[in-house]
Structure 1
Amino acid sequence: MTGPKLEHVARLGYAARGAVYCLVGGLALMAAIGSGGDAGGNQSALQSLLSQPLGWVLLGIIAIGLACHAFWRFVESLTDADHRGTSAKALAVRGAHLISGVASAGLAISAASMALGRAAASGGGDNQAAQDWTAWLLSQPFGQILTGIVGAAVIAAGFVFVGKGWRGDVTKHLKMTDAICRWAVPLGRLGYAARGVVFFIIGGFLIMAAIRASSAEAKGLGGALDTLREQPYGWVLLALTAAGFIAFGLFGIAQARYRHIDAPDAGDMKRAATRHVGALRS
């Protein structure tokens, strides 16, 4: 795949991720203000599209876009497309992008299955998925320790997101005019802050699962949103978080249009793959 074609793949991926965040945030906001909706997370939000006219077509398009986002995240992390380097911070960011790619790939598969009528969102949704992989992790040697480490890493990521929302340069990789920055920066800041809050909650549940050695304690995005709703003035907390998700979705669509993407060519990807395979063998 040539660089220009890969750039189009990356942009479609950012747009699809943005659309999913807008959908999740919109449904959660409706649930918060009592106008229907659902705070069930990614899978239930995608499932809701099937009730719309030509919903399976929309779902199929989103599935393709999420697959593009997953592919770009894999390429981005393995080839260092953003030229971050090999510092500890850079490697952590590239690792996070790799995990993001895995998550997008899983969601793309779920969306494609729903669009083809081969699967529906399970009753547990995101929570069930989180509990399934937590159960697998707990079953490994030193499983409780590993689960606790993952939980701590998720909380640390939450701090990074909140910090980025507070005073981070959210437009660092975007090429846009000052007029566009005036609305893109607030959207990005609010979006990252909302993601940070949700990561705190998900990480906290993972640590609880590690302490109690019970995968039932783990929660996904839907569980995190439900936890917010159950607090005093929970509808306000849920509404603010939902607004943040919508903001991040719109920011993702801005990324699809304005992000600087230095897409590697096929030769660069082949050399990167060779290096990583060699590192694994050594």
Structure 2
Amino acid sequence: MTPLPGGRNTIERIARLGYGARGAVYVVVGALALLAAVGQGGRAGDSKDALRAVLAGPFGAVVVGLIALGLLGFAIWRLVEAVTDADRRGTSAKGLAVRGAHLISAGLYLALAASAASLSLGLGMSGGDGMHDWTAWLLAKPFGRWLVALGGLAVVGGGFGFLGKAWRGDVTDRLALDARARERWAGPIGRFGYAARGLAFLIIGGFLVAAAWHQRSSDAKGLAEAFALLRAQPYGWVLLGLVAAGHAAFGAFGVIQARYRHIDAPDIDRVDDAAGAAVRALT
């Protein structure tokens, strides 16, 4: 097996903790949805529902607190990726789009980390229904309808990106694993997970486009409603079971990334310099 790359600086440790925490959340999301599909559990939910489920388990507050730290680490890593181009995406249209998506991802995981921290401290889940709240806020603004539609199309584009990655099979490109390990277990797990996330993104993006079309924030829905839509189809329990298992696989692949992903993390001083340069470029 290929050895892990290089030494480990602080940002690399933060990134690996982040991948592991994100992976743990999606393993729980997938497991809960899979139980719902086979009639052995309640409602298939999203990442916040997964955190609540973890809280109800042994040492729940401590575990959720650790997950909160990990999700904060993942948000920091996504920000570093976007600002410093740590993965060398470049400044092409595709590279800038990926870096922009990482920036949005940083904000989303920062909000989820705050919710997890609040839950672990016994303060309840912070914030309201984020999808509906943000959509309602945007729809009330000039050109808000078009912004919501653009956001929905961007999510749909992300879904096709996930599906394309699953189809091409290049999910393991950044893993420090030999060819045999990639082919036998890492690749199939990653491709299954990315395909499931891609399908979920297509549905969620469709919800956002519908919200823009009808100018109703209630039409903007998240992962839990995407699961519910799948369950309502003919043979829906099979569809839901497959997508649920795929989300669990996506979580498992996150744990694999935490261990084996090649992370070319810049030194903290370089991150500070890059962030300062980005701020100066905007002012």
| Mapped pair 1:177 → 2:178 | yes
Question: What SS is found at the alignment partner of 1:82?
Answer: coil
Q: Deviations over 1:168-212 (max 9, x none)?
A: 410111111234212000011011100010001101110110011
Is 2:11–2:268's contact at 8 Å kept on the other side of the alignment? no
Residue equivalent to 2:136: 135
Structure 2 counterpart of 1:21, which letter? Y
For 1:108, the aligned partner's letter is: A
Q: 1:191 matched to which residue of 2? A: 193
Gaps of 5+ in 2: 1-6
Pairing of 1:58-77 with structure 2 (within 5 A): 58-77=63-82
Tell me the TM-score normalised to structure 1 length.
Answer: 0.94
Partner of residue 115, structure 2: 110
SS in 2 for 1:84: coil
The residue aligned with 2:152 is 151
Q: 1:213 is matched with which residue?
A: 215
> 1:32, 1:229 within 8 Å by CA — same for their partners in 2?
yes
Q: Which moved more, 1:147-156 or 1:176-185?
A: 176-185
Q: Which residue of 2 aligns with 1:11?
A: 16
- 2:83 equivalent in structure 1: 78
Q: What fraction of aligned residue pairs are identical, expressed as a percent?
A: 57
Identify unmatched segments of 5+ residues in structure 1: none
Matches within 5 A, 1:228-267: 228-267=230-269
The alpha carbon displacement at 1:121 in A equals 7.5
Q: Is the 8 A contact 1:129 1:220 kept in 2?
A: no
Tell me the CA shift for residue 54 of structure 1.
0.9
Q: How many residues are treated as equivalent by the alignment?
A: 276
In 2, Cα distance between equivalents of 1:111 and 1:153: 26
Residue identity matched to 1:190: F
State the distance in 2 between where 1:155 and 1:251 align. Answer: 22
Contact 1:155/1:204 (<8 A) preserved: yes
The equivalent of 1:50 in structure 2 is: 55
Q: Structure 1 residues 51 and 139 mapped into 2: Cα distance closer, same or farther (>3 Å)?
A: same
Q: Which residue of 1 aligns with 2:163?
A: 162
Offset, 1:274: 2.1
Show CA shifts across 1:26-59 (max 9, x none).
0000000011143111111111122212111111
Corresponding residue SS for 1:184: helix
SS in 2 for 1:158: helix
Deviations 1:115-147 (A, max 9, x none): 11001488xx8xx22111111111221011111
- Structure 1 letter corresponding to 2:165: K
Answer yes or no: is the 8 Å Cα contact 1:3–1:264 preserved in 2. Answer: no
2:93 aligned partner: 88
Q: Distance in 2 between matches of 1:31 and 1:276?
A: 46
The amino acid of 1:138's aligned partner reads L
C-alpha spacing 1:224/1:270, structure 2 compared with 1 (3 Å): same
Are the counterparts in 1 of residues 189 and 252 from structure 2 also a CA contact under 8 Å? yes
- What is the SS of the residue equivalent to 1:141? coil
What's the TM-score once normalised by structure 2's chain length?
A: 0.94
